[in-house]
Structure formats: structure tokens, C-alpha cells
Structure 1
Amino acid sequence: MNRLFIILSLLFYTTTIGAQYYLRGEIKDNRGKKLEGVTIQIKSKGIIPFYSGKDGDFGIPLNKSEDSIYLSLAGYENARLLANTNLFQQIVLEMLPSTARLYQKNLSSDITNLKREETMQYVGMGESYSGLIENGFIKTDQYPQTGFSLNIDKAAYSNIRRFLTNEMFVPLDAVRTEEMLNYFSFEHPNKNTTPQFSMESMVTDCPWNSNNQLVLVKAFAPKLNLEKIPPSNLVFLIDVSGSMDHPNRLPLLQSAFKLLTANLRNIDTISIVTYGGNVSIALYPTSGADKQAINTVIDSLSANGDTPGENAIKVAYNLAKGSFIKGGNNRVILATDGDFNVGQRTEKELEDLIVNYKEYGISLTCLGVGMGNYKDSKLETLSKKGNGNFAYIDQVAEAEKILVKEFTSTLFSVAKNTILQIEFNKEAVLSYRLIGFDNKKDAIADSSAKLLGGEIGSGHVSLALFEIELGNKEVLHKIAEIKIAYESAITPSSEVQTFPLENNYQPIHLVDSASRRAIAIAAYAGMLRKSRFLKDFTYSNLVSLALTACNPQHLVQNELLYLIQKADKLYNPSTKRKKNRNN
């Protein structure tokens, strides 16, 4: 009996001296966000690291009541403190300035005097679109300079096509003029073979206001030599949840990714992550040469389960990090209807998640599909925060356009954080209005929001339109100066280029058809958005303008004509009835 008592006493003594105390706490940043994965080192434990959990919490056994702890996390200031096990530790890590900037709301354009109450977020049919504030006229003598973010997003046009094809009204905030112009950017020949941007501009008539004129700016991005395109490290992140079980969702994406696979080279690396019910690595990093293996995995996908989008994004980025190619095109391609219903779901939470990975040099391309529960606002948020781009696929032909015909523009970046600034001559221009590049309602409401540039792909042509009210018509020299600032992906450096904008007025009937088409597209967008600036412009006017700019024998141009006429019939049914009675 005495022997047993001695053994039990020794066991109790050994246990208590090994872990007498327990240090507990949680770690947040200075915005109150709980931080996962913070490295915690305890002085008495030597080099053994501990980590905070998903909710920023930690619990560490100690053999003394007080100990020095050291905390570190990429993007945050390191912290050192003396911790007492008798107290629950509530630790705040301060963001580095570079990290803090990433969490600011992003403006699409640097426009003043916007009214917050003009719009609201659209959530009809289960779909969601971010509320936008339309840019108004700015007095040049007060604010002669403005800027806006350039990108290659094209989602709005094909999404609008989906609504009109189904004879449905288009949500106002689904109309983003700059994306509609981007969709047709390939029609403007890009002969730029230099490592820098080139620029063209023109002044012409404003079809919806004869008192004003239009300024059209074209920024031609550098074109990569196809033989020198760097190797790609691509992770296909494919939503296979139950919501994707429709012909225009998962099957459409399977066709899209097989088209992309056909373009892969031996030097490219492909991985596939799927999520639906759970997250799975369907294909570990594989050479682009092994197309059969890649296509076999794509063909095997089926839709089922809920949508654990948060964990899937983490797995995809970690896989991309593991096969990272220095100097290569490292990119996650997320394909989904955006219906994240498990994990971090709000735009704000998704922003935080993506921003955490952005600093690793991995870009994000978002491909949206589906209708009825399509979450445009979420995918737009992800692509902007992920330093990438965004497109909507409504048919196989659209997938071919984005991933085959415009392959290099979609997936190979030549410039990041790209911003175009323009300063108007106060003597020549009384006021101006930037058409498109409208800001989100929540960005306008946030006083800390800043203008953040976008990603530009190889050979992309960015289009921008201004409606201007001329002042002194005798001013024949330049009416503005344009600057384009960006981080070059060709020669890693920050660049600023300056171009004059001359008063080279031409009547609209004399300008080239591609430029007239861009003006018609901007008018089309304004009509769909029910812009107050086009209240006297009719669909009949729009059709007449489009007919002068579109070639009926050209597939895409003919489709544009068809969609404009479709919108006319949908939004003006009385006009259609009158025509029928006359016949």
C-alpha cells in the first residue's frame, strides 16, 4: 500500500511540475479582426513555435506563472510582452502601413460630389450586385484633375446578354460601362510592341447632347512576345456544389477549362481544387503536357453538397504557393456562381480572406456562371482584392473568347495597380463627366477609401469616355494632359507616362467605326442604367447610331445590334405594338 502511494505521489508531482500553469488568450488586429496563424514563441520553450487558432485563440501549458512571449505574422508588427497565466491575454497586433492600405475601400474613380442615396444593392432573384453611384459633371475650375482604375474585367456585357436573351429587365447596377467597353476592346488594333503603354485620343460629337462633345481615350498595353511568355502555375478552383447542378453552370465550366487546357504548354503547371460538400485536391501539380490526365479529372467532376468556399480558397492558394514559379504567371482561377453558403460569406469577410494571400504574388481570376443565385458582387470583390480580373461565362462561345482567343490578355499581366489620370485645361473645358468607372456606394461612404489601380493583360486596349462642356472654343491646342501610372510586370519597376490630349475634333460620322461603336456601347449602357444624362435620347436614336457602327456580317457586332433591339422591345413594348398596328 505504501509503495502504491509513493508511485501515485511521484506521478502527481511529475505532472504538476511539467505543466502547472496554462496561458490562454486571443489575438486581434487593430480593426478587431481575429487573427489565425500568428506564430507564438515562448521564452521558456525555446524555438518550439505555437500558433493561434481560427478564432485567434490560443492555449499553451507552462511550468511557471509568467513568461515572455514573442508574436509574429506577415503584414503585422512583431510584438513582445510578459504574459501572466492568471489573466486571459487580449493581444492586439498593429498592421504595417502596407497591410492597412490593402484593407481600405477601393474607389473605381477619383470623382467628387457624389450623392450616397442615389442607389442601393440589388438582391432580386437571389442575385446580388453592388450599388453604384453614377458620375456627374465636375466643374473644371474647381477640380481640373481626376483619375480612375484601369482593368480588363468584361463580366457586365455577357451578364447583360443573359438577361436580355431571357427577356428579363437588367438590374441597374449590373451595368458597368467600362466592362462593356472592355468586351469590345479587341476590335481596336494594338500595334504596340514596346514595353510601355501607347495612347490615342480623339474629340467628337456627343449624340445625346448636341451642346457637348465626347473625348475618347485609348490606352494600348504592351503585347508580350508569345515565344517569351513566362511559365504558368495555374490552380483551377472549381465549385462543384449542389447549386452548380445546371447545364449553364458546371458542364459549361468543364467545357471552358478543357478549352484552356488545350492551350497549355509543357512548362505550365496545373492543379485542380474542387469544393462541394467538402474540399478536395482533384489534381496535384501536373505538367501542361499531360492534357489527358487534366481532362480526365475535369470530365469526372459532378455537382453535390454545400459550398465551403472559404476553406477551398485557402487550399487553392496554399497549393499555388507550394508550386510557385518565380517570375512566372502564378494564378488561381476561381469558377463559381458565387454562392458561398458555408464559412466566410459577406463581401467584407471575403475581402479580408483574399487580401491575406495577395502579398504572395498570386493573382486571382474569377469566372462567374449561372442565374437565379449568381453573386456578382462577391466575385467582383474577390477579383479586385485578389489583384486579378473578372468575367461572366453564359455560353461556350464566351468561354472560348475569354480563355482561347483572348488567352494572353486574360491570364498574362503586363501591368498592375494601373491608374489613368487626366487634367483638363480650364480655359478649354468648363466641366466634364467620366462615363462609367462608377464608384460603389460603400466606398463613397468610407472616408478612408482610396483609388487602387487594376491589372492589365497583354495587348489589352483600355477605353475611356468623357462628356465635356467646352469653354473657350478658340483654344486649339491641347485640352488635357493624360498620365498613366502602373507597376510594370515586364521590367519590374514603377512607371509614369505622360501624353497630351489634343483638340483634334472630328464629326462623329467621320470617325472610325470602332470608335463610333464604343460611343454606341456607352450610350447603350446609359440607357440600361436609365441615366439622367440620356433622358432625351431614345432607343430609336441608339439603334440608328449602332447601325452606322456595326457590321451585320460580323458575329459579335451583329449580336450587339440584336441586343440593343431586344432591349428596345423589352423596355418599350408600346412602340412594338404601334408598329404591329401600322403593319
Structure 2
Amino acid sequence: MNAATGTHTTSDTIHNTEEYDRIVENDFKEAKANPLSTFSIDVDNASYSNVRRIIEAGQMPEKGAVRIEEFINYFDYGYPQPEGDKPFSITTEVWDTPWKDGHQLVRIGLQGKSLDYENLRPSNLVFLLDTSGSMESPEKLPLLRDAFMMMVDNLSPGSRVSIVTYAGSAGLVLPSTPVDNKKAIKEALSGLHAGGSTAGGEGLELAYKTAASNFIKDGNNRVILATDGDFNVGISSRSGLMELIEKNKGKNIFLTICGFGMGNYKDGTMEEISNWGDGNYFYIDTMKEAKKVFGKELTANLFVIAKDVKVQVEFNPAKVQAYRLIGYENRVMANEDFNNDLKDAGELGAGHRVTALYEVVPVGVAFKNRTTDKLKYQEPGKTISGSDELMTVKLRYKPLDSDKSLLIEKPVAARSIPWSQATKDSKFVSAVAGFGMLLRDSKYKGSLDYKMVKQLALDGMAGTDEYKTEFLSLVEEARNISSK
């Protein structure tokens, strides 16, 4: 879709130099031999908006472009606000899997506490903007300028903005400027032009230096990088960029990455360095998406309320024969890392929501995916005395002012509800996960097809959510492309 006109781009204008990392989907694990499942949260949703752009252009996405957790986390599921001093609430639900008889889906939902919008902490933001020659097309630098001007209008009082650009060499275009001087900030944005090579590493170094020199204690300090990811001058390898970011970790300067454009888009690079930089990652293809990221959800995307949030699920092998985490493939952690406060994990923003979905095979259901021999010495799993639990969800997080994590636990009862009685949100999240599985041609897609996905989504519709309505159209477009 053309950012300026709103018209669809024809498929022959998209060139095949975009880069996506290979994703190996999570397999089923037997609960008796592997009762623990551990992963870092992921608040990103770039994969969904990028794949939407590809489908709207008349093409099917590469499998590596589809990160199912980012599809799921694109949508709002109406989780309740946390109570007391907890930074997030935990919601769980278990229901019958629509695409595989006998299986169950388990939803784990986190909802970050919303902040007082009238009394937000001031922000020290450094806009790190790619002005290289590859950013010349309309859906890149021109859209970037408009998107960042809109964000400036939504920043809280007391905030400050600096602008660093890079093209061949990095430079400070605008020193730290109070946000009430919007004219100066917008004039600097308006004067940006594309040209030259992409010295991303040099730009990152100057941006972090600028953020540190204007650091606001107890404020929100963040570098916002906007690029197509085509770093090709100076420090350009992922390892080199991550080493540069490593030097700045632990200084409470966070990183947001906004991807723009098509043709030479480098998704894998941006996704990995955003993870490494305690950041979040979005793909902006239209002003509508910019309004979602920089307007409707600005506070959630800028203000961190909990650091290094990890999830560990312990399955009860007396109730669960096998389980599979849907998505989160590059967020899976070693089980021993859950209690290790030195191990990095994802950050949760104010008002952010995070959803994880497991497909579970209950005990007694035929299961042909056995990957290990029966254990000779291990005693069969037993439920806790007097309990009837399917699993226990454990979460660790660090408050902003601490390097020591806190633990929250929530047991989940072994009671699955029929599909007809599942909540609207559970039905819609089933549709989104199913859509991602179809696009990836998952070996676990069961009876899924595009017709089923659309019906699941319709069953889960409530009200007039424009993004969920758009999802229905996207499923139909994918169905039409795949049938050609």
C-alpha cells in the first residue's frame, strides 16, 4: 500500500532482496520428560504489519517473516488492569482446540498497568534517523518525517528531543530541544533528505552518547531508530552492532526500532538488535500504523514499567501428556535462566499487553509425536495433594529501580471449556494463531484452512475494533492469493 495515496502497491514493484531469518517452529514436548517451558516476553508486533504489507501487495510472505507471537500481540484482548502495586495482571483460560480434536489451547495474558496520562514522566528522546540513499522512496523517509512529526505532538510536557541522522557519516541535526518548541523540531524533520550510504553503527554510537549527555533522572530515556535496516558502512554486522549496544546496556537508556519501506528491508537484523537493546520493534507502512504506534499506544511503547520479564510454565504430567508453545521461537530460554537475574529478557511497557498460547495434549488423548523413549527410572508424575492443576505459571520481573527480580505464581486448573463457551478474545486469538500457522505451513496446522480461520475470527468479533475488522479482510486476501 502506498503510504501517501493509500493505494496498493503492485507485486512486481517489490524486489526480492528483503531478508528474513529462518524460524524453526516449536515442537511438542512430553511433559513427563520436559515439565518446564521458559521464555522471555515479546511486546513487538512488527511481523504482523510487515506481513500485512506483503499480502496487500498481492504476495505471500516468506515463512521467516511470520513470527506468530507478534501477530497475536498486535491485537487488544481486554485484559483487566492489575490491582495493588503489581505492574501487570495475569489472565489465563483453557479451551478446546478448534483445529485438532482432543487438544486444548491455554492462553496466558499479561496486562501492564496504565500510567496517569496527566502526570507522565518527561522523556529524553533521541531520534536516530536513516537518511541514506536507500530511504528515498515515498514509503520510507517521507512517511518517516510525517510519523515523527505526529509523535512530537503527542509527547508529554517537559520532554526533550534530539535528532541524529546517518548517511555516510553520522551527525547531530538537532541538539536536545524542549518539546514545547515544536516548530524547531518539525523544521529539523522537514529538512531531512535521503542520500549516501548507511553508517548505522556510527549513528547508534552518537545517539547513545547524545541520550546519555541529556539523561533525565527518573525520566524516560530512549533512542528511537528509524530505518530500513540496510546498514552497509562502518560497523554493519549484527555482532558489531550488538557489541556497540552491549556497551550501553544497564544505563536505563532503552531502544525502539521502527522499520520502514520495502524492497531491501532487513527484518532479521532489526528484530535481533531490538531484542539485544532492551527495546521494542515496529514496522510502519502507513500513517494509520504510525497513529497506532505513536498515537494510540505511545505511552505503552515509550514507558517501561518492568524489566527482564520471564515466563516459566510447569506442566503437571498427571494431566498433560505433551505441550507446544506457539511462536516465541527466538525467545525460548534455558530453564535455569529463569532464576538467574543476570540473564536478559523482555521489557514491559505501561499499558502493554502480552499473550502466550500453548497447545496441550491431555493425558489419555492419542499422541503420535513421541520423541523420547519411555523413562525407565522416573516415577510417574503426580498432582499436588488435594489439587487438580493443569500447570503453574511463574513470572519473574525486575522493578525499574532494582536489579533483583520478583516472583509471581499463578496455578491453572485442569478444566477446559468447549469452543462454544470460550470467550470472544480466546476465539479471536485462536484465529490469529491459526492464520500464522497457515502462512508458515505449520506441520501442526491440523484441519486449519483460510475458511476456518475467518470463521474463528468472526466468532471472536466483539464491537467494531478496526484492526480486527481489517484482519478479516487480510485473511480473505491471503486466501485469494493462495488459491491462484
Amino acid at match of 1:336: T
- Does residue 302 (structure 1) correspond to residue 213 (structure 2)? The answer is no
Amino acid in structure 2 at the alignment position of 1:360: K
Aligned partner (choices 308, 318, 323) of residue 432 of structure 1: 323
Residue 315 of structure 1: aligned partner: 206
How do 1:107-118 and structure 2 match up within 5 A? none
- Report the Cα distance in structure 2 between the residues aligned to 1:478 and 1:491, rounded to whole angstroms: 33
Look up the match of 1:455: 347
Kept after mapping to 2: 8 A contact 1:487/1:495: yes
Give distance in 2, aligned partners of 1:204 and 1:130.
Answer: 32
Higher mean alpha-carbon deviation, 263-272 vs 417-426, is at: 263-272
Aligned with 2:241 (options 350, 367, 371):
350
1:174 to 1:491, Cα distance in 2 relative to 1, 3 A: same
1:488 matched to 2:380? The reply is no
Match for residue 82 of structure 2 among 156, 171, 192: 192
Instruction: Select the structure of larger CA radius of gyration.
Output: 1
Q: Is the 8 A contact 1:276 1:308 kept in 2?
A: yes
Specify which structure has the bigger relative contact order, considering alpha-carbon pairs within 8 angstroms and separated by 6 or more residues.
2
Q: Which residue of 2 aligns with 1:401?
A: 292
TM-score by length of structure 1 reads: 0.73
Distance 1:189 1:143 in 2: 30
Q: Report if aligned partners of 1:265, 1:289 keep a CA contact under 8 Å in 2.
A: no
Residues 551, 557 of structure 1: 8 Å contact kept: no
Which of 124, 129, 132 is the aligned partner of 2:23? 132
Between the aligned partners of 2:447 and 2:145, the Cα distance in structure 1 is 45
Within the alignment, does 1:340 sit opposite 2:231 as a pair?
A: yes
Deviation for aligned residue 1:542: 1.6
Find the counterpart in structure 2 of residue 5 from structure 1: none
- The structure-2 alpha-carbon separation of the partners of 1:526 and 1:452, relative to structure 1 and needing over 3 Å to count, comes to farther
TM-score, normalised via structure 2 length: 0.87
**Distance in structure 2 (CA, Å) of the matches to 1:428 and 1:272:** 55
Could you tell me which of 441, 466, 470 is aligned with 2:358? 466
| Residue 138 (structure 2) pairs with residue 251 (structure 1) | no
Q: Could you tell me how far 1:451 is from its partner in structure 2?
A: 6.6
Name the structure 1 match of 2:12: none
AA aligned opposite 2:98: P
Q: 1:560 aligns with which of 471, 479, 482?
A: 471
* 3-state DSSP of counterpart to 1:266: coil
C-alpha separation in 1, matches of 2:403 and 2:121: 14
Question: 1:526 maps to what in 2?
Answer: 437
Q: Residue 370 of structure 1 is aligned with which of 258, 261, 265? A: 261
Root mean square deviation, CA, Å = 2.2
Partner of 2:376: none
Of residues 178, 182, 196 in structure 1, which corresponds to 2:69? 178
1:535 deviation in Å? Answer: 4.6
What are the residue-to-residue correspondences of 1:132-211 with 2, within 5 Å? Answer: 132-184=23-75, 186-196=76-86, 197-211=88-102
User: CA separation in 1, counterparts of 2:186 and 2:77?
Assistant: 32
Q: CA deviation at 1:477?
A: 1.9
Q: What is aligned with 1:78?
A: none
Gaps in structure 2 of 5+ consecutive residues? 1-14, 335-341, 366-381
User: Matches of 1:228 and 1:519 in 2, distance apart?
Assistant: 37
Work out the CA distance in 1 between the residues paired with 2:403 and 2:228: 35
Asked whether the 8 Å contact 1:151–1:418 carries over to 2, the reply is: no
Provide the secondary structure at the position in 1 that maps to 2:216: coil
Q: In structure 1, the residue corresponding to 2:248 is in which secondary structure?
A: helix
Describe the SS at the equivalent of 1:319: helix
Aligned to 2:417: 506
> CA 1:440/1:377 → structure 2, altered by over 3 Å: closer, same or farther?
farther
Distance across 1 between alignment mates of 2:307 and 2:283: 22
Matched, 1:275 2:186: no
Aligned residue in 2 for 1:291 = 182
Q: Which stretch shows the higher mean deviation, 334-343 or 471-480? A: 471-480
Q: State the match for 2:447 in structure 1.
A: 536
Letter in 2 for 1:246: S
The unaligned stretches of length 5 or more in structure 1 are 1-123, 445-449, 574-583
> Is the Cα–Cα contact under 8 Å of residues 242 and 304 in structure 1 kept in the other structure?
yes
CA distance in structure 1 between the aligned counterparts of 2:301 and 2:406, rounded to whole angstroms: 22
Q: 1:483·1:498 contact (CA, 8 Å) conserved in 2? A: yes
Instruction: Point out the more displaced range, 492-501 or 257-266.
Output: 492-501
CA contact (8 A) 2:126 2:222 kept: yes
Looking at structure 1, the residues matched to 270 and 302 of structure 2 have their Cα atoms a distance apart, in angstroms, of: 17
Deviation at 1:221, TM superposition (A): 1.9
Q: Deviations over 1:151-195 (max 9, x none)?
A: 2101011001000000112010111111111110x3424322533
CA distance in 2: counterparts of 1:345 and 1:362, whole angstroms: 21
The percentage of counterpart residues that share the same residue type is: 37
Range that drifts further, 419-428 or 190-199 = 190-199
2:78 alignment partner AA:
H
The letter for the 2-side match of 1:190 is P
Instruction: Check conservation: 1:141, 1:426, Cα contact below 8 A.
Output: yes
1-structure distance, mates of 2:483, 2:421 = 31
Identify the residue that residue 28 of structure 1 maps to in structure 2: none
Structure 1 residue 228, shift from structure 2 partner: 3.8
Q: Counterparts of 1:211 and 1:535 in 2: how far apart (Å)?
A: 12
